[in-house]
Amino acid sequence: MDDKRARFDALVLPHLDAAHRFARWLARSPSDADDVVQEAILKAYRGFEGLRGSDVKAWLLVVVKNCHLTMAAQARARVFVPLPPETDARDGHAMVSSTPGPESATILRDEERTLRRLMAALPEEHREVLILREIEELGYREIAAVADIPIGTVMSRLARARAALKERWLAELEEEPDGVP
C-alpha cells in the first residue's frame, strides 16, 4: 500500500461513520446517502494531498456536504420521463418487480430469526465450526487452525452441528400452525 493510501486510511476512514450519518441527514433516502458518501470518499482521496490543517473530520464533512449539494443539483436538472405502463410490449416487463414482496420479505426475516435462535441453542463447539464453515466460508484446515482442533474433529463436529440444526429446524416446523384460524 502506498504512503498516501496508508495516511488516508489512518486519518480519514475513522470518520466514515460520521460522514455516513451526516449524509443520511442530508439525503432523502439511505441509498442517496450511500451514493453521497461513496462520491465524497473518492473526492476526499483525490484531494487528500491538498488537506491542510489537522481537522480531518470537519474537512471530510465539508466534502460530504458539497457532494450532496452537487448531487441534489444534478437531480433537479434531470428531465422527468414518465414510466411505461406494465402492458407496454417493449418495456412493460421492467415495471414488474423481481424482488420479493412484503410477505416474502417477512417470511425470510422470520426464518432468519428462527435460524439465529436455533444456532444460539447449539453447543458452543458446534456453533463455532458451523459459523466458521457456513457463514465465514472457511475450509476445514482453516477451521482446525482457528478452533485449535484436529481436522477430523472439525469434520465430526460440523456433521453433528448440521444434524442437530436440521433436527431442531424440523421440530420447529412441526410445532407451527398451518395457518391463521
Mean pLDDT of the chain: 86
Q: How far apart are CA 163 and CA 113, in angstroms?
A: 19
* Cβ proximity of 122 and 130 under 8 Å: yes
80-134 pLDDT tens trace: 767 667 677 777 666 667 777 888 889 889 988 988 899 889 999 999 999 899 8
Q: What domains lie within the chain, and their CATH numbers?
A: 3-77 (1.10.1740.10), 106-175 (1.10.10.10)
Hey, what's the cell of 175? 410445532
- pTM attached to this predicted model: 0.44
Alpha carbon distance 40, 60 (integer Å): 8
* Angle, CA of 76, 80 and 83, to the nearest 5°: 140
Q: Please check whether residue 57 is in contact with residue 18, taking contact to mean a CB–CB distance below 8 angstroms.
A: yes
Among candidate residues 19, 104, 3, 105, the one with its CA nearest the CA of residue 56:
19
